[in-house]
Structure 1
Amino acid sequence: MSAPPRPAPAIVPRPHRLTPLSGRFTFDTGTALRVAPGAEHAAVLLRELLAPATGLPLPTHPDGRVVLALDPALTGLGTEGYGLTAGPDAVLLRAARLEGLLRGIQTLRQLLPPEALSDTPVRGTTWSVPCVQITDVPRFSWRGAMLDVARHFQPVAFLRRYVDLLALHKLNVLHLHLTDDQGWRMPVAAYPRLTEIGGLPHGGAYTRTELAGLVAHAAARGVAVVPEIEMPGHVRAALAAYPHLGNDPGRRLGVWRQWGVCDTVLGVHDEVLDFCRTVLDEVMDTFPGSHVHIGGEECPTAEWERSPAALRRAADEGLDGPKALHGWFMQRIGAHLTAAGRTPLGWTETGEDLPAGFTVLPWRDAAHGLTAARRGHDVIMAPYRSTYLDYPQSDDPGEPPGQPGGIVDLRTVHGTEPAPADWEPEAAARVLGTQAQLWTEYVPTPAHAEYLSFPRLCALAETAWSGRRDWPGFQERLHHHRVRLDTLGVPRRPPTIASGEDSS
């Protein structure tokens, strides 16, 4: 009688190809790393991630049994792909790029017992992994999560933890929504009142040092931090600090303490454009990545329609009217980012409302992504019906308050399709990936944010990395993966809203 097939390890997201092998490899105090040139950062990360629970030193040695190999000549793995082979006597992790090694390290963590994810020492556990052969390549290059820290400020320690949770699931973008009507969290030396005034409600503001440290922490894990500075709408906090940037310079406003869409927007005079460029220059100094998000959505034009200065600007620029100032404004600011070597990002509400050169995030309707792709935009799919995590996860009466008007449950997120099969190939090729959005009107604490994020981000990671639609298989693997989330302290049940404490 033949032996029964060995069960595949419960890895989330599902690897592209995984073959269970016989036996196990055990890490012990004598286990050393053999590190190829260029792989040193991966070795540092592996030690950093495993040390708290295991205490394993994992020194570097020419004869180390855990091999981190970096070979640019490897074909078929791309930027983030990796190969992982664990045998009884050795582990080989190889990739063409450092990013691939970082993804493979997260898989190796999931192969270890769940206790390996603990941030405190664990005694009496054998640190072994099942023997396995994995070849893994992501489906999409952009696999992200947006976290709104403008509506409710979150401490930088939580942002670092959130990055760690993203990296575990091979999500590679933290989109940080830093400004809105209700708060301004990004320090700008040239405009200190932005945080002195605009950062007061619902929390506070970050320092440049904190944000630079977050960027470095994320980069070490292969996660890019993409800043978002809203304009020309969603700017009430900025106008509370600097009223002359608005359309009524004599008006005095407070930071908005309501939720929804505020009707106050930036003016379109030269001083406003100078302000935006100065702010974005400081943003680019702090966030060195390739993309900068400048919002662009939900911009009422009523103020422009009655502002003499805005009407003059529209006439001088030969525009059809004040409504066209939105596209004009976005083109001007986008060109500033492009000239600095960055790619401007913006929310699209129709697929046709942002200038050429923008990478767009369709959020109202997935069909707008097709429209944008056909116009030549690169697209990151973010439709609210399947990626907005501020909506309740179920209709259970115990769910905390969330956005009204719908439910985004786990299966809905799992069913997100960034590049639908009925799109023509040229349009589908424009899709960089997808991301989830966690707006925080109803999310005052880190524990609440984690409860809403997981396990729904597990489902998004599965979709963005592997593209598999095996719902029963995902459920089975998630059942095992939930133990890992428990070890990490991610709440299973809604936190107590008043205190932010987990009620489980």
Structure 2
Amino acid sequence: MSGRVRMLMVMAYIAVVCLPTSHTLTAPEDGFRMPSPWAWRCVSGRCVKEDAAGQVRLTTFNMCKLTCGTEGMLWPRPVNAVIGDQVTLFLPWKMTLQPICQGEVCNLLHEAYDIFTDTLQRYHPHYANGRAPWTGPWDAATELQVLQIDVTVVENDTALTLDTDESYDLTVTTGTDVISVLIIAPTYFGARHALETLSQLVEYHETADALMVVPATVSDVPAFPYRGLLVDTSRNFVSVAALERTLDAMAANKLNTLHWHITDSHSFPLFLDSLPNMAYYGAYSGSQVYTPAQVRNLIKYAQVRGVRLLPELDAPAHVGNGWQWGEKEGLGQLAVCVNQEPWESYCMEPPCGQLNLANPNMYDVLGQIYKELVQLFSPLELFHFGGDEINFNCWNTTEEIFKFMVDNGYGTNESAYYSQWAVFQERARELLHEAAGGRKVPGVLWTSHLTEPEYLESLNPSQYIIQIWTTKNDSSIYKLLSRGYRVIFSNYDAWYLDCGMGAWVGEGNNWCSPYKGWQTVYDNSPHDIAFAETGSPYTDQILGGEAALWTEQVDDATVDSKLWPRGAALAERLWTNPVTTWKAAEIRFINHRQRLVKRGVQAERIQPQWCHQNEGLCYLSEPILGCGAV
């Protein structure tokens, strides 16, 4: 008997045996809140649904979720938390912020506080549909309560680096007329995370039409300094509004890096003041372009939410459209094999294109792009060079490049071309260094032929971070770690979120199928992978991880549901690095998905709502038939 059939039998049994006493009710009008016979009791860390008639010590659904369990419904799970079992009611306009901070940190704190207050407003069920919320009436005690938030930020630094301290301490205590919140953090980013945690200690009280907060003590720090998502905006354009929604959701999950794969062979949607031809030839349309002003605004939007933008200009492969203007401007071919057919012979997916190694003007243009990117993303703390999936045949069948290789005595076999790829990469690094005014900017590279042992010596471990996109069983993981490279895990067998769709060229499923469920995402531990391959977790060299959303089959209409809530599973793995599996997190995860939806994120549904209201009863082993708790 399948799990689905067994579950239907359980639900049928409950529907027949556990019906409440009937009541005479009229059909509700728009906006009317129908009374419910149900209430909830916290039993062994789970909220159990019961008939409220004649019962004591039962609570509303939201109150039970807020107070039940050692960490309540906090996501990602904090390092240390003590959650109370009673709540205090207050109104959203009865809040004050008292910061102790310096300079720009104070400005950021006030913006973060505005986001916090907006988040609390969204907990009201009528917020989203245009009705005026918070109409009351409330009792006198609720009217009097003030939520006072005292925030102390020690440092004045507003740049998020790999060394930034994102820890915080948060205490919530209740008094007669004051709910006291104390936040202490070394940096703005820790304080922002504390406000996010505080927002998850607050919920809407269904019968009082007010907010409720639970007393708590939280001490927290992330396990990894790099906690990222990749969004590709070349294969399909993703609007600024969708990127802002992504940043909102990342902030709600304490993810701190949006890896922006801006360009590829498909399109070049970034407008550059000094090189307008790149977008002129490379954008899908005149309206599908990111202007410098939009980029700067997006960087600021991200900073307030505790997120860095990591730009990627993939090269020397994965270029093409946008580079065709060189010959008209007297610069020769800047890229070769652009849109060349049959594409299977010249690249990994259509359309093709690679930079022209034989044309020195290509380096001049590349250096100019780097200069503008350094200015746009100031202060640039990380840069992604891309650097994977070179097609040997593309270069070897291009007459100009073939002649360049022969005339310079390099040879024309694969090894010779890979050696010239290494030369290109070193030149690209030098160009970025020059663009940054001599300031050291760590560069990130994808795993590729260039990161294999025979070419790895060309990459200085102090200058490069390697992003691992192969499988968790790849033997190159050991070679990279043992040679001192810092790494970011993005192994496609767990953290590629575009997998599991129908093929977009040909038929069948796409190349990295099957679909990666949230359970797979959650259980993918970078330390465990490293230990399995090397016998050591290499804790200091593993910076963290990143889930990738390549957009061959994604655009504004589906970006939310592809990223969320699976991105939340990634977030707890990288923030907490739990020793337990997804099963211990499931109840909180399902609740957190609901929270994201309240905040405007169109996150994919994971289970029927019945499972959310009946914790622990949606499982695969033999169910226990009955009414109420297991």
Displacement after TM superposition at 1:53 (Å)? 5.3
Within 2, Cα distance between the matches of 1:393 and 1:205?
27
For 1:294, which of 385, 406, 412 is the aligned residue?
A: 385
In 2, Cα distance between equivalents of 1:380 and 1:4: 38
TM-score by length of 1: 0.84
Which among 473, 479, 484 is matched to residue 376 of structure 1? 484
Query: Are 2:344 and 1:344 equivalent residues in the alignment?
Result: no
Residue 364 of structure 1: aligned partner: 470
Query: Which of 11, 14, 26 is residue 74 of structure 2 equivalent to?
Result: 11
- Of 145, 152, 159 in structure 2, the residue corresponding to residue 69 of structure 1 is 152
Letter in 1 for 2:149: V
- Secondary structure at 1:321's aligned position in 2? helix
In the superposition, relative to structure 1, how do residues 365 and 479 fare at CA in structure 2: closer, same or farther (>3 Å)? closer
Counterpart of 2:546 (choices 429, 435, 460) is 435
Report what 1:450 is aligned to. 560
2:266–2:351 Cα contact (<8 Å) kept: no
Q: Which residue of 2 aligns with 1:411?
A: 519
CA contact (8 A) 2:253 2:568 kept: yes
Residue 108 of structure 1: how far off its partner (Å) = 1.2
Match of 1:101 among 191, 213, 216: 191
Matches within 5 A, 1:261-272: 262-268=351-357, 269-272=359-362
1:443 & 1:114 partners in 2: Cα distance? 34
2:333 to 218, 238, 245: 245
Displacement of 1:281 in angstroms is 0.9
Q: 1:114 to 1:21 in 2, by over 3 A?
A: closer
Q: CA offset at residue 386 of structure 1?
A: 0.6
Answer yes or no: is the 8 Å Cα contact 1:179–1:228 preserved in 2: yes
Match of 1:387 in 2: 495
1:311-341 deviation line (CA, Å, top 9, x unaligned): 5655648686223211111111022224523
Tell me the residue number matched to 2:277.
Answer: 193
- CA distance in structure 2 between the aligned counterparts of 1:492 and 1:145, rounded to whole angstroms: 15
Q: CA RMSD in A?
A: 3.3
DSSP 3-state at the match of 2:313 = strand
Tell me if the contact between 1:166 and 1:172 (Cα under 8 Å) persists in the aligned partners: yes
Q: Distance in 1 between matches of 2:78 and 2:94?
A: 29
Aligned residue runs from structure 1 range 248-287, under 5 A? 260=349, 262-268=351-357, 269-287=359-377
Q: Tell me: CA distance 1:393–1:19, structure 2 relative to 1, closer, same or farther (3 Å).
A: farther
Q: 8 Å contact 2:339–2:351 — kept in the other structure?
A: no
Distance 1:27 1:72, change over 3 A: farther
User: Alignment partner of 2:282: what SS?
Assistant: coil
Structure 1 residues 197 and 124, CA, compared in 2 at 3 Å: closer, same or farther? farther
SS, match of residue 421 in structure 2:
helix
Partner of 1:501: none
Q: How many residues are paired up?
A: 469
In structure 2, the partner of 1:60 is none
Identity of aligned residues (%): 23
Corresponding residue SS for 1:227: strand
Aligned to 2:53: none
Q: Counterparts of 2:468 and 2:276 in 1: how far apart (Å)? A: 33
Is the 1:114–1:484 contact (alpha carbons within 8 Å) kept by the matching residues of 2? Answer: no
8 Å contact kept, 2:560–2:601:
yes
Cα gap change, 1:203 to 1:364, in 2 (>3 Å): farther
Q: Structure 1 residues 349-358 or 205-214, which shifts more?
A: 349-358
| Distance in 2 (alpha carbons) for counterparts of 1:48 and 1:242 | 46
Partner-residue secondary structure (3-state), 1:183 = coil
Distance in 2 (CA, whole Å) between partners of 1:78 and 1:278 is 30
CA contact (8 A) 1:240 1:252 kept: no
- 2:575 is aligned, of 454, 465, 469, to 465
Give the stretch that moved more between structures: 162-171 or 422-431.
422-431
Larger radius of gyration: 2
Other-structure match for 2:114? 47
For 2:21, the equivalent position in structure 1 comes to: none
1:160 maps to what in 2? 244
Find the aligned partners of 1:453 and 1:390 in 2 and give their Cα distance: 9
Structure 2 Cα separation of the partners of residues 470 and 94 of structure 1: 31
In structure 2, the residue matched to 1:500 is none
CA contact (8 A) 1:184 1:237 kept: yes
Distance 2:409 2:298 in 1: 41
Mark the runs of 5 or more structure 2 residues left unpaired by the alignment: 1-42, 46-67, 122-132, 135-145, 157-162, 503-507, 606-630
